[in-house]
Structure 1
Amino acid sequence: MSYSVVIPAWNAARTIAETLRSVAAQSVVPAEIIVVDDGSSDETEATVLQSGIPVRYVRQDNAGPGSATTRGFALATAPLIATVDADDLWLPQKVERQLRRLDQAPQLAAVFTLWRTFRHGQPDDGTGTAGPGWSRTTMLVRREVALAVGPVIDPPGNRGDMVDWLGRAREDGHQLGMIDEVLALRRILPGSMSYGRDPARDRGYLEVARMAMLRRKLKNAGQG
């Protein structure tokens, strides 16, 4: 089954070419690669267009990674959608393993993988921290599910958007699978959206928790 790749990008000129190369190097090549530039002010556009990799490049005003991901969902044409952040990497067998899992378990709406950290400017040596990647970078999702769950909402600080989206997917009854193998790499990059602790950005996680509690309260009230 074919798949589209959606890459939300914001000021990603330092890293996106390497991300694109890791996507293009997949043992099962994608049907299309969609880069949604979320209002970058650096050389992201030039880097993407000069990468030598066929890409559909779309630019929007800055609205957050969730908004850019949602735009990519709407543009994707293949029955499956793989997503990756513009500073992370895939290992070559990632999507092939995920396609196999979806074929073996048709009840799954999406499949994720373990991922391992590495530091920007240093090659991955296999010693980084590894764990379950319930994240945009490791997700392969059925397109109809992505559209049914709805927009990826950007909380305050632009952190927690995928935590919220995956929570809503589970609440809607969609089954999510995890492959117990490191198939993606998470870049540790100072200044990136996900780097370190930041009280202003971390407010997003609190808002995600608040929204989940509100949804449960409304659901319980409706069942009462």
Structure 2
Amino acid sequence: MRNYGVVIPAFNASGTIAETLLSVAAQTVRPELVVIVDDGSTDDLASAISGTELPIHLLRQANSGPGSATTRGIAALSTPLIATLDADDLWLPNKMERQIAHLERFPTTSGVFCHWRNFRNDRPDAPEAEAVPGWSRTTMMIRREVAETVGPIVDPPGGRGEMIDWIARVREAGLALDMLDEVLARRRIRPGSLSYGRDPARDRGYLQVARLAMLRRARDKAGSG
């Protein structure tokens, strides 16, 4: 069960994706395939990903959001395990080995995440000291059945919060998700990225995610009443 594929949604990520791919190539357990979904980029993403030793499949779509791109990438994989990664973040070399071992040890666990540390743009060698649980695309490894059961990752308004919503839907489906205590990934913080700072326009997605969760709970309560 050590066969896994990787999905990387990418939008104007030519400045960072080569480094991201190097972190995938450095894994002690190598992926069977890396699917990169170009989400309507206007930069030269194809040149940025050339020259890697990894088996890469590049897909292109009109700009639809990272959730849509991730969903399309997952559909393009046939591996039993699927890992996802943002195009500006980094994995530590033993991330996949640790997560695969965890899923092998706990066969009823549907997905596993890990802790991560932030780093500022071009300083991956100087991550911040604080390690936090990474309930995120970059830290996630799931069994294929999770995506088949839960369905697409939906992009809310503003482009933030799609993974919060999808992870909540995984839990609502009764699927077990575990969090490793180890720091196995690094999250890049750079001006202009979706993860940078607070932005009222982008943060609308979090409100939508909260509203949808409340609607699902109300529906489930009404159905069980």
Q: Please state which band the TM-score falls in when normalised by the shorter chain.
A: over 0.9
Aligned-pair identity (%): 61
Match of 2:138 in 1: 137
Tell me the matched-pair count: 224
The C-alpha deviation readout for 1:71-121, integer Å capped at 9, x for no partner, is 011101100000000000000000100011111111100000000011112
Q: Distance between the aligned counterparts of 2:207 and 2:51, measured in 1?
A: 39
1:166-177 matches, cutoff 5 A = 166-177=167-178
1:36-115 matches, cutoff 5 A = 36-115=37-116
Q: Distance between the aligned counterparts of 2:96 and 2:124, measured in 1?
A: 22
Q: Distance between the aligned counterparts of 1:98 and 1:51, measured in 2?
A: 24
Give the TM-score of the pair, scaled to structure 1: 0.97
Matched, 1:203 2:187: no
Q: Distance between the aligned counterparts of 1:142 and 1:182, measured in 2?
A: 21
Q: Distance between the aligned counterparts of 1:123 and 1:16, measured in 2?
A: 13
User: Does the residue aligned with 1:116 lie in a helix, a strand or coil?
Assistant: strand
Q: Distance between the aligned counterparts of 2:113 and 2:33, measured in 1?
A: 20
Larger CA deviation: 125-134 vs 69-78 = 125-134
Larger CA deviation: 87-96 vs 120-129 = 120-129
Q: 1:74, 1:147 within 8 Å by CA — same for their partners in 2?
A: no
Query: Where do 4+ consecutive residues of structure 1 move more than 4 Å?
Result: none
Which letter maps to 2:138? T
Matched, 1:13 2:10: no
Over aligned residues, Cα RMSD in angstroms? 1.0
The C-alpha deviation readout for 1:149-189, integer Å capped at 9, x for no partner, is 10000000110000000000000000000110000000011
The C-alpha deviation readout for 1:40-96, integer Å capped at 9, x for no partner, is 001222211344533100000100000000001110110000000000000000010
The C-alpha deviation readout for 1:9-64, integer Å capped at 9, x for no partner, is 00001100000110111000001000001000012222113445331000001000
Larger CA deviation: 139-148 vs 61-70 = 139-148
Unaligned 5+ segments in structure 1 are: none
Give the TM-score of the pair, scaled to structure 2: 0.97
Match of 1:35 in 2: 36
